[in-house]
Structure 1
Amino acid sequence: MIWLEQVKAASLGELDNFGDEGTVEQVMKVWVKLSLLISRRRPEIAVSSLLKHVLPGIGSQPLKNLTRLRLNRLYNILIAEGKKEEARRVFALTKQFLAWAEMQGYLDHSPIASMKKRDVAGRASPPRSRQLSDAEIWVFWHGLDNWALSEQARWALRLCLVSARRPDEIVQAQKAEFDLQLELWKQGTRNKSQREHVLPISPLMHQCIEALLQAADPDSPWLVPAPRDPQQPLSKGALNQALRRMIRAPRGLGLETFTPRDLRRTARSKLSALDTPNDVARKIMNHALEGIDRVYDTHDYLSQMRIAMNRFSAAVEQIIACESYHQLQHRYEGETLLLDERAIMAMAR
């Protein structure tokens, strides 16, 4: 991201050289240098949103001439396109920026100081709670073999489930991260939290990784390379698109809508069902420990994580080894999964 790299490379004196009447972009560069780069683990995400939705519209305007109406027109464009979450994200970023500018003295008063996030596109949607039942896991796993997918997409989606990883962590993974002799995935800080993370590789994870390595171009550094350019990883949206097509098609999976991120939630829920201690489950998910433990508990939990991941792998193996989803529990005890007769995995009882 050239814009961000230029801000990083410039000195404060080079950025803050516009006197008292800076433009939105000029002052924003100072804010990024002094605040965003220091306080954000992944500032490039925020900067990308600003470059796409804010600076093209108001970047050249004097900051002190900015009005609430002009800012709301930025948000309204996104709302009209159905991008409500992005509109709220842009609002939160601009509000943070303008509050900082007011505090520093670049601005007398932020025009959106009294606005709340709920004022932009209404209240946010509740957090997703979708998880797959045992019967749905069976349909998902075997349905992948009955759909026209690349081997990369097929095994990457399975790896999302059995590794409890975010889809972008899988498509951005490099082959060098995987030690199949020690059975360790040394992910480093390449994750949302930017915390150092090492994950034990379970038997099903090993199977998925081996399949991906065999399907990948041998000269590519990526575990899941892009089909047209093996020197680049598969796009972050590719797995979402593949799964969306399988769900929406009349002769698709026949399941209620879910996303690759819901596979991670399914894994976390299964860990709880297998009586995995919460601290161990949090380490697997690479979430911070709670309370004072996040400061004093520096144990790596590798042996405990390996036990938990192997138990989870065995549970999934037991599910997919069944002859039919009819043999598996759906949401509640005694409830069975009903698929549309057109679904690719629909089976008579």
Structure 2
Amino acid sequence: MIDRTSSPVRSAHVGQHVMIWLEQVKGASLGELDNFGDEGTVEQVMKVWVKLSLLISRRRPEIAVSSLLKHVLPGIGSQPLKNLTRLRLNRLYNILIAEGKKEEARRVFALTKQFLAWAEMQGYLDHSPIASMKKRDVAGRASPPRSRQLSDAEIWVFWHGLDNWALSEQARWALRLCLVSARRPDEIVQAQKAEFDLQLELWKQGTRNKSQREHVLPISPLMRQCIEALMQAADPDSPWLVPAPRDPQQPLSKGALNQALRRMIRAPRGLGLEAFTPRDLRRTARSKLSALDTPNDVARKIMNHALEGIDRVYDTHDYLSQMRIAMNRFSAAVEQIIACESYHQLQHRYEGETLLLDERAIMAMAR
């Protein structure tokens, strides 16, 4: 029985029931969890695995636990682990595949394979029934990584198109901030006002990011313009940079920016551009940094990616001064793009190629 009287640590990524389950595993002693002899159920052994392996090896174990609680334990949690078969496990994955959730099926497969390999190594299981399976055996090969990035002409249409669409000020400037800060959309909407030091021109994000690495980002002129616009539009009593419109004490939902951009792209009189997402704005920023000859180590620091090879262990330099130079150059490049009178003056994908918009698009212009 789950004790709901306690107040577990909250997470922006999973439901409270996941954190309650995880806190119970954390709080239990190993003797309390591993008390079932040689014939444990899937859930009993999985709790031991979570305590001894998942909590130690994962930055965000709650995300993995959320998948297990939703897709694995309801179906096989009460079964004896040693009775588990490949067919029974594939039926779990097949349910997700039939629902079109191929990536989730692969994720659940990877988690169960990791769990069963650990159980075999520990001796809870003689042999993992899916040891010979690979991720490509579940729902076929994964889709290739996205490569969509905006050209200079598309950046112009995106930036000015936001002013010609019925959007809230929060969504308008948050989308722009995704581009000029090279941040993930959830890092924008989950940001608190206190993170921004406009006097020092620093965004002190801390560990509130995908990698959970401490991160500080210099604030460029265009970033500052976006941040100030968001602070002006936000409820003054809200701690959030982008508060929810109906409850300023909560941040804007993580899907709101995706939804707003999707509507602008799909509408007959929308942007008229090939589909893209807020994540593609981050990829656009990274590509622009390369085009501006930003050293790779500096660009990786801006993106908050780990340095490569031995440098990730020994290079502890913060790169702040180099990051500031790079971010200011990127800001100036975007300012130069949006200052043009028309997207026709800007390069599209290749030299000499111009962007052609449907005549119904809100930013379509005659040459």
**How far apart are 1:212 and its partner, in Å?**
1.0
**Residues in 2 aligned to 1:286 and 1:323: alpha-carbon distance in whole angstroms:** 34
> What is the deviation of 1:144?
0.9
Q: TM-score with structure 2 length normalisation? A: 0.93
Q: 1:255-306 CA distances to partner (integer Å, 9 max, x unpaired)?
A: 1111111101100000011111111111101111111111111111101100
Q: Distance in 2 between matches of 1:53 and 1:241?
A: 26
* Secondary structure at the counterpart of residue 309 of structure 1: helix
User: Aligned partners of 2:24, 2:248: CA distance in 1, in Å?
Assistant: 29
Deviation at 1:71, TM superposition (A): 1.0
Q: Distance in 1 between matches of 2:163 and 2:98?
A: 39
Corresponding residue SS for 1:186 = strand
Give 1:168 shift.
1.0
Query: Which structure 2 residues correspond to residues 23-62 of structure 1 after superposition, within 5 A?
Result: 23-62=41-80
Distance 1:108 1:261 in 2: 43
1:65 Cα offset (Å): 1.6
Give, in angstroms, the shift of residue 207 of structure 1: 0.7
Single out whichever of 28-37 and 2-11 deviates more from structure 2.
2-11
For 2:242 and 2:45, the matched residues in 1 are separated by 40
> Could you tell me how far apart the structure 1 residues matched to 2:209 and 2:344 are?
37
Distance 1:17 1:204 in 2: 59
Please list the CA deviations of residues 125-165 of structure 1 after superposition, one character each: whole Å capped at 9, or x if unmatched.
Answer: 11111100000001111111111111111111111100001
Instruction: Give per-residue Cα distances to partners, 1:58-102, cap 9 Å, x unaligned.
Output: 112221121111111111111111111111111000100011111
Distance 2:343 2:258 in 1: 24
Task: Classify the secondary structure of the residue corresponding to 1:130.
Answer: coil
**Following TM superposition, by how much is the alpha carbon of 1:178 offset from its aligned partner in structure 2, in angstroms?**
0.6
The structural deviation recorded for 1:173 is 0.9
Look up the SS of the partner of 2:273 in the other structure.
coil
Secondary structure at the counterpart of residue 318 of structure 2: coil
Residues of 1 paired with 2:20 and 2:252: CA distance?
A: 22
| Cα offset, 1:169, TM superposition | 0.9
- Between the aligned residues of both structures, percent identity stands at 99
Q: Residue 244 in 1 paired to residue 278 in 2?
A: no
CA distance in 2, matches of 1:2, 1:157: 34
Give the unaligned 5+ runs of structure 1: none
Partner deviation per Cα, 1:316-335 (whole Å, 9 max, x = no partner): 01111111111100000110
Return the alpha-carbon distance in structure 2 between the equivalents of residues 72 and 274 of structure 1: 48
Q: Post-superposition shift, 1:247? A: 0.9
| Inter-partner Cα distance in structure 2 for 1:11 and 1:217 | 45
2:305 corresponds in structure 1 to 287
Instruction: Name the TM-score, length of structure 1 as normaliser.
Output: 0.98
Give ranges in structure 2 of 5+ residues lacking alignment. 1-18
* Structure 1 counterpart of 2:340: 322
CA offset at residue 190 of structure 1? 1.0
Q: Distance in 1 between matches of 2:326 and 2:209?
A: 21
**1:113 shift after superposition:** 0.8
Q: Secondary structure at the match of 2:217?
A: strand
Q: What's the secondary structure of 1:35's corresponding residue?
A: helix
Q: In the alignment, does 2:196 pair up with 1:144? A: no
Q: Give the alignment partner of residue 107 of structure 1, picking from 115, 120, 125.
A: 125
Deviations 1:1-56 (A, max 9, x none): 21112111222112112222222111111111100111111111111111121112
Q: How does 1:1-349 map to 2 (within 5 A)?
A: 1-349=19-367
Please give the secondary structure, in 1, of the residue aligned with 2:205: strand
> More deviation in 155-164 or 228-237?
228-237
Partner Cα distance (2:235, 2:33) in 1? 44
Pairwise CA RMSD: 1.0
Shift of 1:116: 0.5
Alpha-carbon distance in 1 for matches of 2:188, 2:136: 34
Deviation for aligned residue 1:311: 0.5
1:112 Cα deviation after fit: 0.7
Q: Aligned partners of 1:189, 1:93: CA distance in 2, in Å?
A: 25
Give, in angstroms, the shift of residue 174 of structure 1: 1.1
Find the residue that maps to 2:216 and give its secondary structure: strand
Following TM superposition, the consecutive aligned residue runs of length 4 or more in structure 1 with deviations greater than 2 angstroms are none
Cα separation, 1, equivalents of 2:194 and 2:69: 33
Q: SS in structure 2 opposite 1:198?
A: strand
